[in-house]
Every structure is written in C-alpha cells, then in structure tokens.
Chains A and B, each alone.
Chain A
C-alpha cells in the first residue's frame, strides 16, 4: 500500500503570515528587484509572487472549500521537490519585502516556510544539511577547534576576558578571514578601547541554521552566547560581521527568555563615533575609488531595528573619512541594494547561483569604475571575491575596517596559526606612505565542506 502523502505543514507559520500569502496582489514588483531571478530569468517560480501563489495552491489541496467538501488531494512529490527548490533558491536578502506593496515581511515568511519543508522531509538543500551536525559538534561550521578562536590575535594586542565592551568576532573572522579580526583588534587597541573577547565561549551565531529552516541548534547557541556575553559583563557588543549582528539582534532574543542587558552595535557605528570625536588619526592616504556593498543582514534586515543611519550611513561615513579615498555608490544601494548571493544558505546549497549573483554585483561595482568594493560582511566579501575571480575582474574586495586600519598605518599582519593556510582574502600591503591591495587567487573548490555559513 502506498504511503499516505503528508500535507503541507503550517507549524512554523504565524497565522498572520498565512494571511500575508493571501495579501500578495501579484503586482510583480518583487520580480523586478529579485537578485536571484535576475540571474535565473528562466525560473520565475523562485520569485516571491510565484512562491506565494504556489504555497496557496499546495495548501488548497487540503484546505480549500472543495477539499473540505470532497476530500483533500495528495501532494505531488515532484511538485513539492520543485517548490522546495524554489524556496531555497533565495538568499533571504529581503529586497522583495522592501518593495512589496502589501508590506509582506518576506524574510520572516521564507524563514517560516523552510522549517515546514524540513519537517516534511523536503528541505534543506544540498550541503545545507551539514550545518546542524557541524555546528553541534564543533560550535562552528568550519570544523575548527573552539580553543583556537583567538589563535589569530597578535601577541602584543591587548584583549581582556571580560569588560563592558565585547567584540564578537564570529566564526569567519576567527578561522577564515583573520585579517578582519586583526584589523579590528589593532584599531580598538590604537583607540585605547578596553574590550574583551569570549574566546572558546564564543559559539557560532547559528545564522545559517535559522536561514535554512533548521532551527534545532539555535536555542542552545542563542542561550549560550547571550549568557556568555552577560557573564563577561557586556554592556556594548561590537560586531564586524553582518550575519552575527543580525542574529544577535533579531534571532537570539526570540530564543532567550531572560533579560538581555547589552546593546548590539555595528563596529562601523562605534568607529564613526571615534572619527567624529577626532580620535582616529589617519597616516596613509588610500588613493582608490571605493564603493560600498550594503550587506543584507545589517542593512535591510536591521534597518527597522537599529535605524537607517546605523544600517546604511555609518559605514559610508567611515569610508569617506579615509584620506585619498574617492567614494562612489553603486546604482543599487542601501535598502535597494543587490544581494551578493551568499546568504540564506545559498553559498553552501547552490554555489553556482551564489557565484552568478556575485558576478552581477561585481558588474555593479565596475559600472561606477570602483577599484575596491568594501563591505562589512565577511560572507559578502568571500562571495564577491569568488565572483570577481570567476569574472576575471580587477576589482578588489575588502572590509571597511581593513581600509581604516591600513590608512591608520597599523600592522595587520596575521600571526602564523593553524588556519593560516585557509586565509584567502584580498589584503592591503602598506609601506610608510602608500598601500597596495594584493588579490588572492581563486579559492580551491571543496576546501570548506559547507562553504560560508550565513
């Protein structure tokens, strides 16, 4: 006897989200902005309008008036497979929600659809299924040792174990893009900011789990990290990783029942305050045309939480403060920016899609004749670098913090450590009066089991 088909599940959908699906008036605005549809124009099914319509159709098989009167219909598994693909062909960048006439909170909607697909046995997609296992086993997605969290910190750097200001570096800065971590530590030291880091008590923010609908590890990580930050005496937590600050601001509080006494602050906001107070002393001009890629996670995802000034302007102000830099915005910027393609588990699950999206963003940068695309997200940076390499573009990709550290004349040499061989990022090499950017070669495919984790 054939196994009975499972119906479409609604367990993770809030009832108002089910209403939102019916609120889609098919105006097609999301289709014009969707960055995945832009590189996969033969697949309209991946756009929000079609996903909503499909969900309605699938739900109607068992929940329509017809189904109530004559009985429900089994779901076609091929159809479910295709729908799952459509739902996961999305970086959860949220531009669809920004332009949605009906005001649908699309990021929350996709993130609520996905766990239902996971529970039904359809999701996640590709290598995304490794996330929970890896993170549960190692507390980071890179199969790295927790004891090595601070292995990149220069010996002469001053980092406390507790304090009111805590820098939450994130897994990528700790193991894969240590130049960002070193630059951050050097700048904070230079500015005489007493700050702490959690070391082995810093666990993965678990962003990838929530984004891909695999929430089971989330509770443990959210509670652990909040408690660790509280134990460290944090009043201000600095983030140089867009994915981490998104999770810390939006997701952790959903899983943490107690009072959270600290404030999450993007590092660029903290540094802008220092610039405004005249505490930042630049020494070397950077004679580059620099453009800024707004990460979705601390831009659109947080603009209603922390305000558009923090979300979009602070990083631009930091870049513009650097002597010699000529700043130019890309055509699509701020809340309407084009996603780099790494988020929502796409980099791990559908790497070719992520790469094509990154190439589109590189083209955006080239259109304004930028020498450097700067960002404040290690995942955006990784993916845009991959896109740049694939497109054989000469554009450089750096973090805003690294640009600042170079111009301040700080030594950002990464100490030798077990993860040195994994360091593949464009680096600024500075002499006494000038800096140049060295480009990395293409990353060897398959080095990381799951690629980037946001």
Chain B
C-alpha cells in the first residue's frame, strides 16, 4: 500500500503522529489556559487557571440540567439548529463540511489503528486488518465528496455573493482556501491511483500518487496541529463549546 513510501517508515509515521498529536493537545491546552484568564463568575476574582476554565464551562453547560445539555448537544451542536434558522444554504454547507471533516478525521484515526494491528500482527489479525482497510475506501470517498461539496459552497459564496465577498478578509480566504486545497489534493491523490470512485482511471498516474498522497497528508496534519489550535479554526472547538455553555444561546 502507498502508506509508507518516499522514505517514510512505519516507525517514522508513528513518531510523526505522536508529535502532531502532542502539538495539537498543547494547542488546546494553550487555548483553555488563555480562556482561563477570565473569571469564574460575574463578580469573581481572576484565577488564571486552566482547570478553573474547565470548571466554569462545566458549570455553565450543566446549569439547566443534563437534559438541556443533551438537547443542546443534539439540536444545536449536531444539527446546527441556529444556522438552519438563519440560512438553509449555509446550513447545508456547514453540515457537509462538519460531518465530512469529522468523519474523515475519524476514518483516518481508524485507518491508523488498523495499520498498527496489521504491522504488529496484534492477536494474529494482520490479514483481517488488511481486508478491513479495503472496506474503508468507500466511506473515505463518500465523506470526502461531502466535504468537497461543503467546501465548494463555502468558496463559491465568498466569491459570488457581494456582501460576503466584501467582508471576506485575507484571513478568511486563507482558511477556507486551505480546507479546499486539502480536500482537492486528497481527491487528486486518490484519483491518481486509478480505479477511483466516480472518475475511474481518468486521472490515473500511479507513479506519482504516493507523492501527492504525502503532500495531502502533510497539509492535513499541518492544518490539524499547526493551524487549527492557533487560528480562527479554533472555532471548530470553541463554537460547540459556546453553544453548550450558553445552552444553545437560549
């Protein structure tokens, strides 16, 4: 499989994964600590504490009980009710990007787990693991197209709608452009392998497929660890946390 080519070995991939995860976790910790610069209540003193931010968030999120928390998680975080109320098109865009992004991330994690099983032949399941990996192909394609669909709407509205275009900063353009680029490179890498979903062998170029896959992987991991926690992308985490803390803003 094209996972480990161009000098990359399994061990190197694991080390890189650990580094990426460590940077990401530190990024999240850094943000929580920054948010902890606030107080814990209307009149409370500043504590400057990572843990007190978490405590404050939990207190706010569960203020009206577990049922309200669950209702908010389902209606506002998972189904984006507030977005739907304002703009059905933006709702389709966000839902596509959100579920495409989350599913691809989860599938990537699952793929890595299966790889580990295969590499170490854990419980003698190496052969089965290889078969499981094949099964991941279709969901990868489906959720990839979903993300591509959402990203295309996002880019299109920034270009086509005057009001949106006028208020798009370079920052917005970079971030949406990055998502679009990662999605496109992922598809192109897949198409170059040949026998791809929907396009068949139209873009087949197997010699360079690993190179493109590597570019896609580097971009995706870079976005995940080096951009997401440190830029506007943190809204991917902060928005659902805000919705939960404010009980859906209601």
Is chain B's interface secondary structure helix, strand, loop, or mixed overall?
helix
B105 smallest CB distance to A (angstroms) = 18
A13 smallest CB distance to B (angstroms) = 4
User: Inside 8 A of A29's CB, which chain B residues have their CB?
Assistant: 86-87
Residue pair A100, B30 in contact (C-beta under 8 Å)? no
Residue pair A10, B82 in contact (C-beta under 8 Å)? no
Residue pair B86, A105 in contact (C-beta under 8 Å)? no
Confirm or deny: A25 has a beta carbon within 8 angstroms of a beta carbon on chain B. Answer: yes
User: Inside 8 A of A31's CB, which chain B residues have their CB?
Assistant: 163, 167
Number of interface residues of A (CB under 8 A): 38
Confirm or deny: B60 has a beta carbon within 8 angstroms of a beta carbon on chain A. Answer: yes
Residue pair A65, B249 in contact (C-beta under 8 Å)? no
Q: Residue on A with the closest CB to B244?
A: A103
Residue pair B249, A13 in contact (C-beta under 8 Å)? no
Confirm or deny: B46 has a beta carbon within 8 angstroms of a beta carbon on chain A. Answer: yes
User: Inside 8 A of B80's CB, which chain A residues have their CB?
Assistant: 101
User: Inside 8 A of B40's CB, which chain A residues have their CB?
Assistant: 14-15
Residue pair A15, B242 in contact (C-beta under 8 Å)? no
A-binding segment of B130-138, B178-186, B231-239: B231-239
Residue pair B241, A14 in contact (C-beta under 8 Å)? no
User: Inside 8 A of A104's CB, which chain B residues have their CB?
Assistant: 242, 246, 249
B151 smallest CB distance to A (angstroms) = 15
* Distance, CA A17 to CA B163, complexed state (A): 28
* Distance, CA A413 to CA B163, complexed state (A): 51
User: Inside 8 A of A19's CB, which chain B residues have their CB?
Assistant: 35, 53, 57, 238, 241-242, 245
**C-beta contact mask, B174-208 vs A, less than 8 Å → 1, else 0?**
00000000000000000000000000000000000
A301 smallest CB distance to B (angstroms) = 14
**C-beta contact mask, B63-96 vs A, less than 8 Å → 1, else 0?**
0000000000000100010110011001000000
Q: Residue on A with the closest CB to B242?
A: A23
* Distance, CA A430 to CA B131, complexed state (A): 89
User: Inside 8 A of A254's CB, which chain B residues have their CB?
Assistant: 42-43
Number of interface residues of B (CB under 8 A): 46
User: Inside 8 A of A18's CB, which chain B residues have their CB?
Assistant: 34-35, 37-38
Contact of A65 among B30, B42, B56, B246 (CB under 8 A): B30
* Distance, CA A28 to CA B167, complexed state (A): 8
* Distance, CA A32 to CA B167, complexed state (A): 11
User: Inside 8 A of A59's CB, which chain B residues have their CB?
Assistant: 34
Residue pair B57, A16 in contact (C-beta under 8 Å)? yes
CB pairs A–B below 8 angstroms (11 shown): A15-B37, A16-B242, A19-B35, A19-B53, A31-B163, A32-B163, A102-B82, A102-B235, A103-B76, A105-B249, A254-B42
Given A53-B171, A105-B246, A254-B43, 10 more pairs with CB closer than 8 A: A11-B39, A14-B38, A16-B60, A20-B242, A22-B234, A25-B239, A28-B167, A59-B34, A102-B239, A102-B249
